[in-house]
Amino acid sequence: MIFTYIDGSNTRNSVSLLDTHHNSGFFETLHADSKLEFIKQFIPAYNAGQKLVLFDKNHTQLLDFHQKNNINSLKDTESLEPDTRLLFFTSGSSGFPVGAFKTQTNLAKEVKALKELVSVKCIKRVVVTVPFVHIYGVLGGLLLPLALGEIELIVKEDFLPYELIEEVKKGDTLVITTPVFIKALGKLSETVDMSSSLFISSTGPLHTDDISVFETLYSADVMQLFGSTETGGIAYKFGVSKKWIPLRDVSVEQKNERLSVSSPYISTFLLQEGIQKLELPFTTEDIIEIDSEGFELLGRSNKIIKIAGKRISALAIESLLEKIEGVERAVVTLVYKKELLRSEQILITLQAKNQLQKSFIKQKINESYGVLTIPFKVVYVETIKLSSMGKKVLF
């Protein structure tokens, strides 16, 4: 693998990854202030079999946790599998981040599945826009390129959308990115044939409108990956298809309307108020409909809203609200309060230039989805932050 790093002045630098690393046998936290330093530290350490702790140092709760705790001193670390290699953390978008221990077996098998998926294209170059501290960045942005062999890995701290277009114009390129970037590329006026390249998007769902615009502009295939830090990859789909297809060796079923998963990519142990063993099959909070062709994601259990007898994803309502002039970001959640006449209530959090009348919001929802009878509350915040992986974060 050839590693090319584009610095702040847009100079392309060929980087050597020949540094050696001594395996201490204990967990070591990888400290890196840039993607360049991360790769130069991670790959030699990983190749040496070093156990690594990866987390976003900009996440204040996690930083505080690591300053006060030594992973090697935690109770039950001796229970971890012998080939445990990496400790990842969730983004913490719904609370304190959960740690997920990944073994060499977890990682190697998932990389094999991803390599099989991208074989639909003749990949010669991999461009990575995501940070490496999360599982998607490491699997898709580092371990997969290593497994692909004779390719060029191109990394920059922060690609601008038009810079990414220039890279992909060279053809035969695999882009590891997020929904935020796909949406941004869809807003550019340039039309480019990228049919020889493949874009992989993960960390959150893409609206079909955004995919349609992107595919029209660039004639490029978009493959979405669905999974989590705990489960690893679960399924994939191409384009505007609603059906998710399980990855190789992944078994899915429906349990009380929720997605239940058995897979060699799932962490056996989690770090959540101590080290805990995860029971399999693992049931997620995702509501699904399943058939012989795959499954359709209806949304998270707290992100499904029933309107006029139909189950509507909160994502769809968020997308609708963000099309209103002045609304920059929206988060829609279904909450439960016993003191209410009806125990459920919709909580709408908006980052907007001006406050909207509740009647106007209700009218917009009614026009698209039918009469909304569930009570809702609107809260305005100065900023709805995005995590390093592009997820909306309210905590």
Comparing CA positions, the residue from 209, 210, 203 lying closest to residue 224 is 203
Print pLDDT tens along the chain (395 aa).
899 999 999 999 999 887 778 888 999 999 899 999 999 999 999 999 999 999 888 888 888 888 888 999 998 999 999 999 999 998 766 567 899 999 999 999 999 999 999 999 999 999 999 999 889 999 999 999 999 999 999 999 999 999 999 999 999 999 999 998 999 999 998 889 999 999 999 877 788 889 999 999 999 999 999 999 999 999 999 999 999 999 999 999 999 888 999 999 999 999 988 999 998 999 988 888 999 999 998 777 666 676 766 667 787 888 889 999 999 999 888 776 555 444 568 889 999 999 999 999 999 988 888 888 778 889 999 988 876 656 676 65
Instruction: For the chain, list the domains and their CATH numbers.
Output: 2-298 (3.40.50.12780), 304-393 (3.30.300.30)
Per-residue pLDDT at 300: 72
What is the reported pTM?
A: 0.80
Question: Rounded to the nearest 5°, which phi and psi values hold at 200?
Answer: -110, 130
Question: Rounded to the nearest 5°, which phi and psi values hold at 187?
Answer: -95, -5
Integer Cα distance of 268 and 178 in angstroms: 27
Integer Cα distance of 270 and 84 in angstroms: 12
